[in-house]
């Protein structure tokens, strides 16, 4: 059954409860180049496969960009 999370500030439906790592794969995002915040707490990289997404989770995928 499907659930909806909030991804980078927008609703994002996902099929069933998958891990954060699986989410990144489906999004084509290299886990090594981003920071993942889940419900305001930062996830360690090596735990991304163990964290399963729940309905309503707020997920932020953040990376570095050029800035002054």
Partner 1 sequence: MENNPLVIGGRSFRSRLLVGTGKFPSSRSMVEAINASGSDIVTVALRRVDLADPGDDIMSALDPERYLILPNTSGARDAEEAVRLARISRAAGCEPWVKLEVTPDPHYLLPDPVETLKAAEILVKDGFTVLPYINADPVLAKRLEDVGTATVMPLGAPIGTNRGLKTRDSIQIIIEQATVPVIVDAGLGAPSHAAEAMELGADGVLVNTAIAVAGDPAAMAQAFKLGVEAGRLAFISGLGGLRWKAEASSPLTGFLRRAES
CA 3 remoteness from chain centre: 14
Please say which residue, 42 or 54, places its beta carbon nearer to partner 1: 42
Distance CA 31, CA 27 (A): 10
Q: What is the dihedral of CA 31, 15, 59, 27, to 10 degrees?
A: 40
Residues 1-60 that bind partner 1 (CB under 8 A): 6-10, 27-30, 33-35, 37, 40, 42, 60
CB of 19 to partner 1, least distance (A): 17
Please say which residue, 7 or 14, places its beta carbon nearer to partner 1: 7
> What is the binding site for partner 1 (CB under 8 A)?
6-10, 27-30, 33-35, 37, 40, 42, 60-68
């Amino acid at each position: 059954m499907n659930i909806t999370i909030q991804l980078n500030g927008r609703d994002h439906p996902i099929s069933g409860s998958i891990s954060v790592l699986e989410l990144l794969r489906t999004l084509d995002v290299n886990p090594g180049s981003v920071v993942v915040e889940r419900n305001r707490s930062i996830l360690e990289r090596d735990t991304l496969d163990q964290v399963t997404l729940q309905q309503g989770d707020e997920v932020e995928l953040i990376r570095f960009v050029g800035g002054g």
